[in-house]
């Protein structure tokens, strides 16, 4: 998902403490910043929430690409509000990581120098206005599948930020679907854009859930700690099952000739995405990896004098105030 | 690396007269900047009419190990909760 | 000439062009908190655009709506201030421009709440609350960045020097301004010049910035005679979809 391929860290803590910790998690108690926690739990959370936060921030870019070109004033406002929300979600999540002892500046530097990742989906380009529909419908749709259960995650600050994010995000997927509905009801060119957007975003959206993890030890550890709530395959299947009828409603064709309803399983059968492409994107070889990080780097560098000046002004103000007292 | 803006905790009181409630955190250079940022970050959906901010480092918190002594005494005072009192259905809504 | 229409286009185009510029920041701000704040300003301005241009379209009575006016007019039909169409350049110029605009816009909208035209008064009453917050934020940011470091002071002084020859365009009055004053729709912009100047002096002084000498002001934006080269590019980007697909509905 927004946090793909997060390995859970092995932990070498006192077995009694570990057992007591696990009992708290099993009892549904929330773990709070000052509570004792296994070192592996802390490290895994930093990586997972950090990656989630980075995904929100980098995820602003493909949609911000179309704000200036939104075709009506209403669409412009909707899209801008949505991309602004993503900045807000990144902010909430960075704050959640900060409770684990890593600052936002440190996290930003780890994103920029490649030590931390973000979701593979944001390395794909947005080429037409229909992509604003496809991204909202498919990408936010996939994200919601993962985020709704995370509201029950064991780490208190993470769970609380997910509650806020889910509440705010309820309009995002609808906004995308609404754009898509207008496109399929529109001119021939618009219909073509809509199908093209679905063709390009379908498999990258399936990749968002990460490769199959049903036999993964890491995944098992994260699930017992309740920082991962479902397997990747469960969520992917749920996403496919919900999305296929929506595509039918739109009159669009999912680019998978093997897609069909399976009476026995009660689910759709579908083709797995090309996982070699996924690993290339994760390694930095997606269509937009370099440009995305360059854009974040530029914002960071260009903003340095502003961030610095605000602190300098606050300090001067404080010392003037103390001098006056 | 330049000095990072400190972290602030944000409390907001909504229009319905409830007390200020913790809504989240943010970074800001000082208290005034924090209030403006809180307005922009945490009241985008009309959530509040009054904002408090406090620098996170200034918050004194109870320590987790005291959780038992601090909160257990309240646990057996179920009569503080309205559902403790069973009211027969025929009485109607109360 | 329909002076009321002209007047409404000036209000709407100011909001539209500045809103468009501000929205360019989304995803590129110097800190997440600032990124979100800039987007809020842009959203307010887009909302104001819908109100002003919506009313303008009604007054025009040609069967067009706010979107037609925003997306299907050419540069020579735009009536925004030149200052609002120049590129953002950097955070310093963006905030300095916002401040120079807000410092006029707040008393202007306050005055318009007493307009003889009830629709104008209504739009102004909604917009002025937003503008007051914009002014609060732009003022404190200009002060912080002017006072902050030698580097930031340099950014802000350069921004002020660049924008200064555009800043007073709004006071170059024409027949539309006189006509609106005559019927009580709006005061003469020049009646607010003193107050505007005072706001600037107080803020710039606290920001340790020097107000440039000279009263020269470019004109041509709000009267639609001569825009800068930047407007054409802004419109080419903004209008590309409705222009390229005139039979589409979005």
Asked if the Cβ–Cβ distance from B3 to A168 is below 8 Å, we say no
Domain total of chain C: 1
Please name the residue of chain A whose CA is at the shortest distance from the CA of residue C50. A73
- Note the pLDDT tens digit of each residue in A226-273: 999 999 999 999 999 999 999 999 999 999 999 999 999 999 999 999
Report helix, strand or coil for A237: helix
Token pair of B48, please? Answer: 């509040």
What is the span of the domain harbouring residue C174? Answer: 3-209+217-244
CA-based nearest residue to A237, from A204, A272, A281: A272
Please give, rounded to a whole number of angstroms, the shortest distance from the CA of B52 to a CA of chain A: 18
Q: How far is B84 from chain A (nearest CA, A)?
A: 23
C18 in any annotated domain: yes
Q: pLDDT digit string (tens) for A8-44?
A: 776 678 899 999 999 999 999 999 999 999 999 999 9
pLDDT digits (tens, 9 = 90+) for B22-76: 999 999 999 999 999 999 999 887 777 799 999 999 999 887 666 565 555 555 5
Residue window 71-90, chain A: list those with CB within 8 Å of chain C. 71-77, 80-81, 83-84, 87-88, 90
Return phi, psi of residue B26, to 5°.
-165, 175
Compute CA B9 distance to the chain's CA centroid, rounded to the nearest angstrom: 9
Q: Residue B78 and residue C6: Cα distance in Å, rounded?
A: 69
Domain annotation covers residue C90:
yes
The closest of A19, A16, A10, A89 to A55, measured between CA atoms, is A89
Output the six-digit token pair for C88: 């953002």
CA distance A24 to A30: 8
Of A90, B71, A53, residue with least CA distance to C33: A90
Closest CA to C11 of C142, C133, C180, C165: C180
Measured in angstroms, the CA of B4 and the nearest CA of chain A are apart by 7
- Burial letters for A52-88: b for 16+ Cβ neighbours within 10 Å, e otherwise? bbbbbbbbbbbbbbbbbbbbbbebbbbbbbbbbbbbb
Residues 6+ positions from A303 with CB-CB distance below 8 Å: C29, C30, C31, C34, C91
The tokens 């994103």 sit on which residue? Answer: A111
How far apart CA C6 and CA C185 sit, in angstroms, is: 12
Q: How far is CA A243 from CA A129, A237, A247, A268, in A?
A: 20, 10, 6, 10
Runs of H (alpha helix) within chain A: 15-26, 39-58, 60-64, 73-98, 104-112, 130-134, 141-150, 156-185, 188-207, 217-224, 232-250, 275-280, 289-324
Confidence of residue A219 (pLDDT cuts 50, 70, 90): confident
- Closest to C189 in 3D by CA, of C128, C119, C107: C107
pLDDT for B82: 53
Q: Which helix (H) or strand (E) holds C152?
A: helix C150-167
* CB contact (8 A) between residue A88 and residue B41: yes
Instruction: Categorize the per-residue pLDDT at B2 as very low, low, confident or very high, splitting at 50, 70 and 90.
Output: low
Q: Which residue of C has its CA nearest to B25?
A: C33
Query: How far are the Cα atoms of A282, B89, C98 from residue C78, in angstroms, in the given order?
Result: 46, 69, 20
- Which residues numbered 142-181 in C keep a CB inside 8 Å of some CB on A? 143-145, 147-149, 151-152, 155
Q: Is residue C228 part of a domain?
A: yes
Q: Is residue C138 part of a domain?
A: yes
Could you tell me if A319 lies within 8 Å of chain B, comparing CB atoms? no
Segment C125-172, tens digit of pLDDT: 999 999 999 999 999 999 999 999 999 999 999 999 999 999 999 999
Yes or no, beta carbons of C37 and B37 under 8 Å apart: yes
Is A27 part of the contact surface with chain B (CB cutoff 8 Å)? no
Query: Which chain A positions have a beta carbon within 8 Å of C73's beta carbon?
Result: none
* Residue C35 contacts B, CB cutoff 8 Å: no
In a domain, C52, yes or no: yes
Among residues C30, B34, C160, B25, which one has the least CA distance to residue A308? C30
Say yes or no: A91 contacts chain C, CB-CB below 8 A: yes
Average pLDDT, chain A: 95
Residues 6+ apart with CB under 8 A from C102: C131, C134, C135, C138, C139
- The average pLDDT across A185-194 equals 98
| Residue in A closest to B4 by C-alpha | A105
- Closest to C241 (Cβ–Cβ): which among A57, A69, A83? A69
Q: Residue A270 has what pLDDT?
A: 98
How many A/B residue pairs have CB atoms within 8 Å? Answer: 49
Whether the pLDDT of residue A1 is over 60: the answer is no
Place C208 in a pLDDT band, splitting at 50, 70 and 90. very high
Integer Cα distance of A271 and B23 in angstroms: 43
Closest chain A C-alpha to C172 CA, distance in angstroms? 30
ipTM exceeding 0.95, yes/no: yes
Q: For testing the chain B interface, which of C26, C29, C30, C33 should be mutated: the one with the most B CBs within 10 Å?
A: C33
The pLDDT of residue C183 is 98
Backbone angles phi, psi at B23, to 5 degrees: -115, -20
Give the chain B residue whose CA is nearest to the CA of C130: B40
C96: Cα separation from own chain's centroid: 12
**The pLDDT value given to residue B1:** 46
Q: What is the CATH number of the domain that holds C103?
A: 1.20.1260.10
Q: Say if CB B42 and CB B48 are below 8 A apart.
A: yes
User: Which C residues, 126 through 185, put their C-beta within 8 Å of a C-beta on chain B?
Assistant: 133, 136-137, 140, 144
Pairing of strands B7-13, A267-269: unpaired
In a domain, C28, yes or no: yes
In a domain, C250, yes or no: no
Q: Is B51 helix (H, G, I), strand (E, B) or coil?
A: strand
Interface of A with B in 142-171 (CB under 8 A): 160-161, 164, 168
Is 70 exceeded by the pLDDT of residue B90?
no
The answer to whether A314 contacts B30, with C-beta atoms less than 8 Å apart, is yes
Phi-psi region at A129: left, alpha or beta (left = phi > 0; alpha = psi -120 to 50): alpha
- Look at residue A149 in the predicted model and tell me its pLDDT: 95
Residue A94 phi, psi (nearest 5): -60, -40
Q: Which of A92, A98, A164 is nearest residue B7 as measured by Cβ atoms? A: A98
DSSP A281: I
Report CB contact under 8 Å: C144, A77. no
Q: How many CB atoms lie within 10 A of CB C205?
A: 13
In a domain, C59, yes or no: yes
Is the CB of residue A75 less than 8 Å from the CB of residue A179? yes
Cα separations (Å) of A113 from A107, A108, A293, A320?
10, 9, 9, 39
Q: Hey, how many other C-beta atoms are within 10 angstroms of the C-beta on A5?
A: 17
pLDDT band at A170 (very low <50, low <70, confident <90, very high): confident
Q: What pLDDT is stored for residue A184 in this prediction? A: 97
Q: Which of C33, C137, C140 comes nearest B26 by C-beta?
A: C33
The pLDDT of residue A169 is 83
Least confident of A83-87, B51-55, B66-70, C69-73: B66-70
Averaged pLDDT for residues C95-110: 98
Element (DSSP H or E) covering residue C111:
helix C91-112
Closest CA in chain B for residue C34: B37
Partner-chain contact A308 C33, CB within 8 Å: no
Shortest alpha-carbon distance between residue C40 and chain B (Å): 7
């Amino acid at each position: 998902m927004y946090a793909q391929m997060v390995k859970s860290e092995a932990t070498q803590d006192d077995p009694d403490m570990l057992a007591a910790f696990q009992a708290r998690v099993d009892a549904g108690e929330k773990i709070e910043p000052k509570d004792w926690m296994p070192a592996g739990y802390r490290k895994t959370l930093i990586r997972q929430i950090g990656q989630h936060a980075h995904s929100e921030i980098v995820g602003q870019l493909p949609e911000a690409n179309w704000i200036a070109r939104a075709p009506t004033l209403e669409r412009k406002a909707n899209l801008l509000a949505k991309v602004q929300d993503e900045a807000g979600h990144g902010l909430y999540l960075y704050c959640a990581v900060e409770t684990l002892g890593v600052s936002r500046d440190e996290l930003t530097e780890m994103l920029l120098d490649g030590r931390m990742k973000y979701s593979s989906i944001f390395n794909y380009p947005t080429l037409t206005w229909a992509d604003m529909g496809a991204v909202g419908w498919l990408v936010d749709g996939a994200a919601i599948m993962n985020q709704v259960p995370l509201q029950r995650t064991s780490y208190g600050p993470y769970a609380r930020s997910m509650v806020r994010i889910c509440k705010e995000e309820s309009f995002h997927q609808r906004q995308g679907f609404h754009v898509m509905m207008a496109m399929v009801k529109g001119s021939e060119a618009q219909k073509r854009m809509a199908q093209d957007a679905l063709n390009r975003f379908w498999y990258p959206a399936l990749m968002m859930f990460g490769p199959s993890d049903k036999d993964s030890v890491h995944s098992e550890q994260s699930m017992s700690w309740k920082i991962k709530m479902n397997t990747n395959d469960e969520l992917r299947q749920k996403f496919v099952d919900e999305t296929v009828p929506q595509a039918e409603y739109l009159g669009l064709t999912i680019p998978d000739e093997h897609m069909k309803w399976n009476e026995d399983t009660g689910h759709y059968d579908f083709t797995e995405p090309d996982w070699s492409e996924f690993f290339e994107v994760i390694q930095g070889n997606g269509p937009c990896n370099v440009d995305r990080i360059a854009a974040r780097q530029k914002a960071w560098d260009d903003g340095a004098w502003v961030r610095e000046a605000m602190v300098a002004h606050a300090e001067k103000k404080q010392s003037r105030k103390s001098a006056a007292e | 690396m330049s000095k990072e803006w400190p972290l602030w905790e944000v409390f907001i009181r909504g229009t319905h007269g409830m007390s200020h409630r913790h809504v989240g955190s943010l970074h800001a250079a000082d208290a005034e900047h924090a209030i403006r940022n809180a307005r922009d970050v945490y009241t985008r959906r009309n959530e509040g009419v009054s904002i408090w901010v406090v620098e996170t480092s200034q918050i004194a918190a109870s320590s987790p190990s005291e959780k038992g002594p601090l909160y257990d005494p309240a646990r057996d005072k179920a009569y503080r909760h309205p559902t403790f009192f069973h009211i027969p259905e025929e009485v109607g809504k109360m | 000439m329909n002076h009321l229409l002209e007047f409404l286009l000036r209000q709407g185009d100011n909001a539209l062009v500045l809103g468009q510029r501000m929205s360019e920041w989304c995803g590129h701000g110097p800190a997440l908190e600032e990124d979100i704040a800039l987007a809020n300003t842009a959203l307010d301005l887009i909302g104001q655009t819908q109100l002003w241009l919506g009313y303008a379209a009604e007054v025009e009575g040609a069967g067009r709506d706010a979107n037609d006016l925003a997306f299907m007019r050419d540069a020579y039909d735009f009536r925004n201030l030149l200052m609002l169409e120049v590129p953002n350049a950097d955070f310093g110029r963006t905030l300095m421009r916002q401040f120079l605009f807000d410092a006029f816009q707040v008393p202007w909208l306050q005055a318009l709440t007493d307009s003889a035209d009830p629709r104008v008064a209504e739009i102004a009453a909604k917009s002025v609350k937003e503008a007051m917050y914009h002014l609060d934020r732009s003022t404190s940011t200009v002060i912080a960045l002017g006072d902050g470091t030698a580097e930031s002071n340099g950014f802000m002084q350069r921004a002020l020097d660049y924008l200064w020859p555009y800043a007073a365009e709004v006071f170059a009055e024409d027949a539309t301004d006189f006509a609106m004053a005559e019927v009580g729709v709006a005061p003469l912009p020049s009646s607010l010049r003193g107050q505007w100047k005072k706001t600037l002096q107080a803020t710039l002084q606290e920001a340790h910035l020097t107000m440039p000498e000279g009263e020269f002001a470019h004109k041509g934006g709000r009267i639609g005679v001569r825009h800068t080269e930047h407007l054409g590019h802004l419109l080419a980007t903004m209008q590309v979809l409705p222009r390229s697909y005139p039979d589409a509905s979005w």
